[in-house]
């Protein structure tokens, strides 16, 4: 009734100010979304609207997980910020567009094609490693529902010495930096998460596909 979120403790109820959310939007609040959900908290959206609880990974943030959004990032920066992008964007082709789809098919051996609704390295085709049969099968799937696919040039990730089984060996890595928005504006965290392709020669850094991760710290500028 008071539009607040509380947690049961041995000392009684304790108000919750911040919730780090890992539940999909549809299951977050059975009073607002899926009424059959038992994963969320009834009434949490009311508390959120009243400003009585902050939800990290706010409702609707999942739109950024749709890989199709990546094709529009440079245009979004120009439109909403009236600025030019500082960092280069990996060229991204939306296969729902016939011209871009044709370009990808002609250069498929240099492309990685991904499903927009998949993650963790699943549902993708590495053109330089796929057989003709795999390419033909995947192409048919794209043609049937092209809006669900994007493609990018295969990027040769950076190589870094990694401690593997007692020795230093070269492995492909990529860095995920983080930016935090606070009262003083946006600040870049002096570090991040480095994902590592643990298999020799592999470009797949996803943990679900055998990749690893390492904390990364920037000690000096």
pLDDT tens readout for residues 160-182 = 998 888 999 999 999 889 888 88
Residue 57 pLDDT? 87
pLDDT tens readout for residues 3-36 = 999 999 999 999 999 999 888 899 999 999 999 9
Instruction: Give mean pLDDT, residues 143-163.
Output: 92
Residue 206, SS3? coil
156 is written with which tokens? 């040769």
Burial grade of 139 (CB within 10 A; 0-12, 13-18, 19 or more): middle
Confidence check: pLDDT of 208 > 90:
no
Local confidence band at 123 (pLDDT 50, 70, 90 cut-offs): confident
Q: What is the distance between the alpha carbons of residues 155 and 65, in angstroms, rounded to a whole number?
A: 20
- 1 Cα distance to chain centroid: 36
Local confidence band at 199 (pLDDT 50, 70, 90 cut-offs): confident
Residue 55 pLDDT? 93
In whole numbers, what is the pLDDT of the chain averaged over residues? 90
Write phi, then psi, for 150 (nearest 5 degrees): -130, 165
What percent of the chain is predicted at pLDDT more than 90?
57
CATH number 3.40.50.11290 given to 6-61: yes
Instruction: Give mean pLDDT, residues 77-94.
Output: 93
Q: What is the distance between the alpha carbons of residues 91 and 202, in angstroms, rounded to a whole number?
A: 21
- 104 Cα distance to chain centroid: 22
Spell out the long-range contacts of 108-111 with Cβ–Cβ below 8 A and sequence spacing 24 or more. Answer: 108/135, 108/139, 110/153, 110/154, 111/151, 111/152, 111/153, 111/154
Do 66-155 and 6-61 fall under one CATH topology? no
Residue 181 pLDDT? 82
- Give the distance between the most distant pair of CA atoms in the chain: 66
Instruction: Give mean pLDDT, residues 78-84.
Output: 95
Residue 207 pLDDT? 74
CATH number 3.30.1490.270 given to 66-155: yes
pLDDT tens readout for residues 27-76 = 999 999 999 998 889 999 999 999 999 998 888 888 877 888 989 999 99
Spell out the domain ranges in the chain: 6-61, 66-155, 158-217
Confidence check: pLDDT of 114 > 80:
yes
Confidence check: pLDDT of 1 > 70:
no
Residue 110 pLDDT? 95
């Amino acid at each position: 009734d008071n539009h607040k979120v509380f947690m049961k403790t041995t000392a009684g109820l304790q108000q919750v100010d911040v919730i780090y959310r890992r539940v999909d939007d549809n299951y977050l609040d059975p009073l607002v979304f899926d009424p059959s959900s038992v994963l969320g908290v009834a009434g949490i959206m009311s508390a959120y609207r009243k400003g009585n609880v902050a939800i990290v990974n706010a409702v609707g943030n999942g739109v950024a997980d749709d890989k199709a959004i990546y094709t529009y990032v440079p245009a979004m920066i120009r439109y909403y910020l009236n600025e030019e992008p500082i960092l280069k964007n990996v060229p991204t082709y939306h296969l729902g567009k016939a011209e871009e789809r044709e370009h990808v098919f002609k250069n498929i051996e240099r492309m990685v094609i991904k499903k927009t609704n998949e993650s963790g390295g699943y549902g993708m085709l590495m053109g330089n490693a796929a057989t003709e049969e795999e390419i033909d099968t995947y192409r048919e799937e794209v043609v049937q529902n092209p809006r669900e696919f994007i493609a990018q040039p295969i990027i040769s990730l950076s190589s870094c010495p990694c401690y593997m089984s007692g020795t230093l060996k070269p492995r492909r890595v990529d860095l995920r930096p983080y930016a935090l928005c606070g009262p003083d504006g946006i600040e870049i965290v002096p570090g991040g998460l480095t994902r590592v392709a643990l298999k020799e020669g592999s470009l797949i850094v996803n943990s679900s596909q055998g990749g690893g991760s390492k904390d990364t710290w920037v000690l000096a500028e």
